[in-house]
Structure 1
């Protein structure tokens, strides 16, 4: 016999005070980052290693250029991944497809059969990452659709801790397996990590509730047919163009990397022009917020230009100019960057709590400005280390550890805030695509950074580091000076109230 009263709904267990679905996304992203950062920690070394040692035999500047455009492509394709989620598949299925393609890419790189499988693997990883990255971040935001900004920021910071936990384990395992020239064994470990992440996502999707099940703005059948026609012709034209370039005898890896850099810089410019011209279902208030977002986008691009040289310039410095003997054991060069991951895992909960308690007293523009200044200061330290090592001697590992610690604090100010503010400022009609735009900032910074490294052939390394440091510090101070104006454009507070508020 029943009482006639409805049973209260069973409340699902929380994840550190957050929705249980965050645990699913946390774990999936953690294993994807295991594969990504683990492979990245040896990529430049593999590309520049002599062929007799199992490498590709490229010059260091070419290897860094390829690294830059590969990393940029991972994030450049996030815009297309966001569009696929918005218009065709929905974020949930797009993440599933992306994880599957990433795993296939790592498996391709694990095949010890020459460069063709490596290039194919890099392409597949970039394509899959473009589908996964913006949409898994957007799914995190969907869990807080009706929550406050501070709680969403805290959730994104915990999500960011998962990213760095995966990076830490990946950087420990993959370079260690590579020791002795076992490159493809190491690439295979990255594939295994992605397989775990994919399995974890499939089993845990039920905790996401209704988040991301359907596209927000699904294409009509006619629009879908037109898209397939245009995509087919476009891909065919691209393949034909590359084939003709190769047959002309003018194709080189360096020129291809430069061409991709130009494309990477042009895409966000074209996309912002598209958003600001025409209605596109964007309200006047949303358009005003986009103006603020452009400021933050440019700051983020400059930040990542410097920060992501951890896998290129700083990795090579660790290999050639750093004493890596620790208690009689010579550690792999890639392990040095793991100090960043360790610091993130330790400090992320502290910063999550700090930002939760601070609320809107520490605004997003201020966080971005602080992040830029700190990453600039890290390269001031790097310039000093390069000066000490300019005579060919090896310097203490403490120099690089100091650089990574400063960058870590800057990253905790800027990167989680970037994910959160993108979710907040996105026009409703372009929500998942705008997560892709956030990753475009990383793409621009990484691709330009890969080309900027060519300056090291004509300027001393200390000058190279110092020039980038001054650019970042100047950019941070400029953003700090305009922080209140940018904050007003974000429509966080009425403009009249803001005018009388103390400086942020």
Structure 2
């Protein structure tokens, strides 16, 4: 371990939170409240956009609202690249977390104030930038508080991951219950803002005693000459972008449709550029190039999987609101509550899957096979949700248990693909591009949601069966193809399992 890493670990009290470093308490609750605010806001955001003004919403067209949700999700993951770079080169991860939390909180505060569509877009920009600063960097600090040889490290990340899912589980129940009441969206967004404020409070008040030097050291700081160049480029870039937008909008060149198309192009272009640069780099060895080739079909599979999974906050959220019987067993359900199902099932099933893989040991499926299983479950989750329309028609309300089953099946797929994907990304990454390859993994979600922004407009009650059937069918076909070539992919992985 380098001296600086040793200094960081030595500065962190190593006992104090369930036998883990005290810093895990700070990071657990910071992330818990950030996820509470994020998923609470997201649980009601699409409804806020397309509900009528008389119901407290913005009155947008439904397909437009669904596209905005997808674009928002895509930009959140893209912004993580910027947040990681700023932390590594300019102000460190601790400040990135703080600045990010401030931006997120103000974004939610703006949402909580009744206003114009322009203010709504301002709030989205703040939340996108804030999440890009906070989300990747808080995870990085978790890694800093443990030494590489510390056997508690994996368990610490598991505890941290539980904080994410607890926040994601509780938020739709609380914010969804309050925010979905008549003309109450803005109070729901205010609760999300308060959640982020509590997270910031926890971080600021406990970081000095609990985190020591973790997050305070800039990994690869810019030199004074580099700073001058970078700040100049950033300044010119902002001015150029502002002028471009100011000219393009009045002339009709920059419309909502062209913006969706632009994000869609970036969602595919950015990861493609990552692959090309890493593959062609002289720093990448022959074995590493082979592993990059193996990573390409896994990346494409991940894009297809997340394209289905992320529709839980768009198409399935709309389905819960418009197509689901919300008076069930004497209980009046909120459509926002269904978004608690994903984190709930992960909390229940993640330990089961972890135990299962360990139990199977060397007999467990290969990485490509696990990915094919993940995509198979994703496809099945969409085929399941078209069955109510097949049996009862596309205009009758359906039993909410169909929606519960769909969420359950997609979680089975997520647990086959998501944690495995994180692990194999670190194994297949070229040494010179280890951090960028992790960013590439998260870009698969950005690409997926950029694609979703193009396709959600095809969803309506009349096309419901075709929509779910085509996407679900394509996913299943791709999963079978991946399974058939999994042996060849494994060969390109050159010893990585």
Q: Normalising by the residue count of structure 1, what TM-score does the alignment of the two structures yield? A: 0.87
Per the alignment, residue 160 of structure 1 pairs with: 161
Label 1:433 to 1:253 Cα distance change in 2 as closer, same or farther (>3 A). same
State the Cα distance separating 1:22 from its structure 2 match: 3.9
Label 1:274 to 1:323 Cα distance change in 2 as closer, same or farther (>3 A). same
- 390-399 vs 79-88, which deviates more? 79-88
Label 1:483 to 1:19 Cα distance change in 2 as closer, same or farther (>3 A). farther
Provide Cα deviations, 1:95-114, integer angstroms capped at 9, x if missing partner: 23222221221112112222
Q: Paired residue for 1:131, among 130, 133, 139? A: 133
Label 1:388 to 1:24 Cα distance change in 2 as closer, same or farther (>3 A). farther
Question: What count of residue pairs does the alignment treat as equivalent?
Answer: 485
Label 1:490 to 1:194 Cα distance change in 2 as closer, same or farther (>3 A). farther
Per the alignment, residue 5 of structure 1 pairs with: none
Label 1:214 to 1:475 Cα distance change in 2 as closer, same or farther (>3 A). farther
Per the alignment, residue 172 of structure 1 pairs with: 173
1:230 aligns with 2:196: no
**Root mean square deviation of aligned Cα:** 2.9
Q: Paired residue for 1:122, among 124, 127, 141? A: 124
SS at match of 2:165: helix
State the Cα distance separating 1:414 from its structure 2 match: 1.7
Provide Cα deviations, 1:351-374, integer angstroms capped at 9, x if missing partner: 334445555645443332221111
State the Cα distance separating 1:284 from its structure 2 match: 5.1
Q: Paired residue for 1:440, among 440, 443, 449? A: 443
Label 1:17 to 1:381 Cα distance change in 2 as closer, same or farther (>3 A). farther
Q: Distance in 2 between matches of 1:389 and 1:156?
A: 45
SS at match of 1:90: helix
Q: Distance in 2 between matches of 1:479 and 1:15?
A: 42
Provide Cα deviations, 1:377-429, integer angstroms capped at 9, x if missing partner: 11110121333453411110110010011111211222222333334444455
SS at match of 1:323: coil
Per the alignment, residue 6 of structure 2 pairs with: none
Label 1:184 to 1:127 Cα distance change in 2 as closer, same or farther (>3 A). same
Q: Distance in 1 between matches of 2:407 and 2:320?
A: 12
- 226-235 vs 432-441, which deviates more? 432-441
Provide Cα deviations, 1:227-253, integer angstroms capped at 9, x if missing partner: 111111112211111111211135432
Provide Cα deviations, 1:56-88, integer angstroms capped at 9, x if missing partner: 121111111111101100001111222222322
Q: Paired residue for 1:43, among 38, 42, 45? A: 45
1:374 aligns with 2:377: yes
Q: Distance in 2 between matches of 1:193 and 1:316?
A: 25
Question: 1:47·1:58 contact (CA, 8 Å) conserved in 2?
Answer: yes
1:449 aligns with 2:452: yes
Question: 1:160·1:416 contact (CA, 8 Å) conserved in 2?
Answer: no
Higher relative contact order (CA 8 A, sep 6+): 1
1:243 aligns with 2:243: no
1:390 aligns with 2:393: yes
Question: 1:75·1:439 contact (CA, 8 Å) conserved in 2?
Answer: yes
1:229-308 equivalence runs, <5 A = 229-279=232-282, 281-282=283-284, 285-308=287-310
- 310-319 vs 349-358, which deviates more? 349-358
Label 1:287 to 1:217 Cα distance change in 2 as closer, same or farther (>3 A). farther
**What residue ranges of structure 2 are gaps of 5+ in the alignment?**
1-9
1:464 aligns with 2:477: no
**What residue ranges of structure 1 are gaps of 5+ in the alignment?**
1-7, 494-503
State the Cα distance separating 1:484 from its structure 2 match: 4.2
Question: 2:56·2:182 contact (CA, 8 Å) conserved in 1?
Answer: no
1:403 aligns with 2:406: yes
Label 1:262 to 1:331 Cα distance change in 2 as closer, same or farther (>3 A). same
- 288-297 vs 411-420, which deviates more? 288-297
SS at match of 2:57: coil
Q: Distance in 2 between matches of 1:154 and 1:490?
A: 27
Provide Cα deviations, 1:177-228, integer angstroms capped at 9, x if missing partner: 1111211111111111111222223344454565544333322222222111
Q: Normalising by the residue count of structure 2, what TM-score does the alignment of the two structures yield? A: 0.88
Q: Distance in 2 between matches of 1:289 and 1:140?
A: 27
Question: 1:154·1:356 contact (CA, 8 Å) conserved in 2?
Answer: no
Q: Distance in 2 between matches of 1:20 and 1:477?
A: 46
SS at match of 1:77: helix
Label 1:344 to 1:199 Cα distance change in 2 as closer, same or farther (>3 A). same
State the Cα distance separating 1:20 from its structure 2 match: 4.8
Question: 1:134·1:432 contact (CA, 8 Å) conserved in 2?
Answer: no
Question: 2:12·2:210 contact (CA, 8 Å) conserved in 1?
Answer: no
Label 1:441 to 1:9 Cα distance change in 2 as closer, same or farther (>3 A). closer
SS at match of 2:58: coil
Q: Distance in 2 between matches of 1:440 and 1:10?
A: 32
Per the alignment, residue 32 of structure 2 pairs with: 30
Question: 2:71·2:453 contact (CA, 8 Å) conserved in 1?
Answer: yes
Q: Distance in 1 between matches of 2:30 and 2:312?
A: 24
Q: Distance in 1 between matches of 2:20 and 2:480?
A: 35
Q: Distance in 2 between matches of 1:275 and 1:15?
A: 39
State the Cα distance separating 1:319 from its structure 2 match: 1.0
